[in-house]
């Protein structure tokens, strides 16, 4: 093995990237490496990247510029880029960012020790290893969970995506859809419980498409929730076309399954949804919302919305606003359309909505959602919530921050010894983004 022993890793993007970084840490540690939190002390610097939006890539390029100065001072340092950005740009990244020694995609991490040996021994000077693998699930790799508070852990249950939405780059960076053996999922969660974790989040680009032999997502969710009734279970992300009533019924049958569904709509216009290749209509989406409200009435609902997609008219935009009024989402992630290379939209649809129009429409969407979030939080005043305490608040060491079953942040005064515990908190006030509460003795 190489003589280098300390690695440093930065992670950008979604929870799945956080989980992947934990896999990478485990792979390196099993080969004699130690992690450092100071990149100035590292023999190996890794950046795990996201390619979903352009601004994420620009942030990474900025960090690579910093690491270039580190490498200039210590030429033996190896710098590698992992993840979706590497999968997208491949050799181009090596050429554009001359700080990089290697680039690896999401399906090749277990080859990292081999790549490092080849670089160290001079077998190769630069390495690009981004081959997608239709079967890779890292089944035999337990992630290196490094959260000292032992609150929430992630478990990836599916990798890749087959939906091929017009705007989305994920199928090109994470490959085809596949599901992990449920027995290994259970083993991984049981391992996390032994380490003291109180909450697990099941991850996938589309968790509703989980299917391994005779186990679908509803059955898996039931199996996971049955492991320990004191362990809270979350999942991310659902897809409108695939969210079945069976899943909602499992949620209703287990108190420890979080009352929170993230159901991206992207647009309220059927014309735009068809151009986006989403596979459902506005009416279908509203039917799914109705089912959630009927079967899991205390469920918070969040969404994603894109403003200014290709050819979007003012009428299309108003239909999105109208759908938001009909649903009244508890929270939303809202973006203006940013064309991603090689997607269907980039190859076939004109990015013809003026930038100032995109910004104006996005601001209108944000303003409307802010009103809905305010009203949602207002309804929680006077209620008592079971809160899983995550950490101290950035406002004060005397305040703690936790989340209720609906995923809402609640801040309250209490001793930090309660971090990692479930407590009852009564909400007495709120802001647009946060609930304020008092600890119930």
- 194-246 pLDDT tens trace: 999 999 999 999 999 999 999 999 999 999 999 999 999 999 999 999 999 99
pLDDT for 4: 58
φ, ψ at 80 (rounded to 5°): -125, 145
Tell whether 116 and 171 lie within a shared domain.
no
pTM of the model: 0.93
Tell whether 257 and 210 lie within a shared domain.
yes
User: Does residue 53 register a pLDDT over 90?
Assistant: no
Over the stretch 331-387, which tens digit does the pLDDT of each residue have? 999 999 999 988 999 999 999 999 999 999 999 999 999 999 999 999 999 999 999
Per the listing, tokens 């740009």 go with 89
The domain boundary residue, chosen from 378, 403, 426? 378
pLDDT for 412: 97
Strand intervals (E) in 292-366: 300-307, 331-336
Tell whether 256 and 280 lie within a shared domain.
yes
Give the chain's mean pLDDT: 95
Query: What total number of domains does the chain contain?
Result: 3
Helices (runs of H) and strands (runs of E) counted in the chain: 14, 21
At 149, is the pLDDT very low, low, confident or very high (cuts 50, 70, 90)? confident
Tell whether 317 and 411 lie within a shared domain.
no
Tell whether 176 and 109 lie within a shared domain.
no
The domain boundary residue, chosen from 348, 378, 408? 378
Look up the domain containing 412 and give its range.
384-439
pLDDT for 2: 45
CATH of the domain at 84: 3.40.50.12160
Percent of the chain with pLDDT strictly greater than 70: 99
The answer to whether 246 touches 278, Cβ cutoff 8 Å, is: no
Residue environment code for 399-414, b if the CB has 16+ CB neighbours within 10 A, otherwise e: ebbbbbbbbbbbbbeb
**Which residues contact residue 375 at a Cβ distance below 8 angstroms, ignoring those fewer than 6 apart?**
328
Over the stretch 10-29, which tens digit does the pLDDT of each residue have? 999 889 999 999 999 999 99
The 3-state DSSP class for residue 3 equals coil
């Amino acid at each position: 093995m190489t003589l280098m022993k300390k690695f440093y890793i930065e992670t950008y993007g979604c929870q799945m990237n956080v989980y992947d970084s934990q896999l990478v840490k485990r792979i390196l540690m099993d080969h004699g490496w130690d992690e450092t939190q100071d990149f100035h002390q590292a023999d190996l610097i890794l950046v795990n990247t996201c390619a979903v939006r352009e601004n994420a890539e620009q942030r990474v390029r900025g960090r690579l510029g910093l690491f270039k100065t580190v490498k200039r001072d210590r030429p033996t340092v190896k710098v590698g880029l992992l993840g979706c950005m590497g999968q997208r740009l491949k050799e181009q990244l090596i050429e554009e960012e001359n700080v990089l020694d290697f680039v690896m995609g999401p399906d090749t991490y277990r080859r990292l020790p081999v790549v490092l040996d080849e670089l160290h021994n001079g077998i190769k000077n630069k390495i690009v290893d981004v081959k997608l693998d239709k079967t890779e699930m890292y089944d035999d790799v337990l992630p290196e969970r490094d959260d000292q508070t032992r609150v929430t852990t992630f478990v990836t249950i599916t990798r890749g995506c087959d939906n091929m939405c017009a705007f989305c780059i994920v199928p090109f960076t994470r490959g085809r859809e596949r599901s992990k053996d449920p027995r290994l999922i259970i083993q991984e969660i049981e391992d996390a419980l032994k380490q003291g974790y109180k909450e697990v989040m099941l991850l996938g680009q589309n968790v509703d498409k989980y299917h391994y032999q005779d186990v679908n997502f509803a059955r898996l969710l039931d199996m996971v929730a049955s492991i320990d009734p004191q362990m809270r279970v979350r999942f991310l992300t659902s897809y409108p076309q695939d969210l079945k009533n069976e899943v909602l019924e499992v949620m209703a049958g287990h108190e420890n399954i979080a009352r929170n569904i993230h159901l991206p709509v992207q647009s309220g216009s059927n014309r735009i949804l068809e151009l986006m290749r989403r596979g459902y209509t506005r009416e279908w989406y509203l039917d799914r919302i109705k089912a959630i409200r009927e079967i899991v009435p205390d469920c918070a609902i969040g969404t994603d919305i894109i403003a200014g997609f290709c050819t979007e008219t003012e009428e299309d935009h108003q239909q999105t606003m109208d759908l938001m009024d009909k649903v009244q989402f508890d929270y939303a992630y809202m973006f203006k359309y940013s064309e991603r290379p090689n997607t269907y939209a980039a190859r076939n649809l004109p990015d013809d909505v003026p930038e100032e129009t995109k910004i104006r429409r996005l601001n209108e969407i944000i303003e409307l959602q802010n009103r809905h979030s305010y009203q949602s939080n207002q309804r929680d005043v006077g209620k008592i919530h079971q809160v899983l305490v995550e950490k101290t608040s950035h406002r004060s060491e005397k305040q703690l921050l936790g989340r209720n079953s609906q995923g809402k942040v609640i801040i309250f005064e209490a001793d930090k010894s309660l971090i990692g515990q479930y407590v009852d908190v009564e909400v007495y006030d709120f802001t647009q983004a946060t609930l304020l509460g008092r600890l119930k003795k």
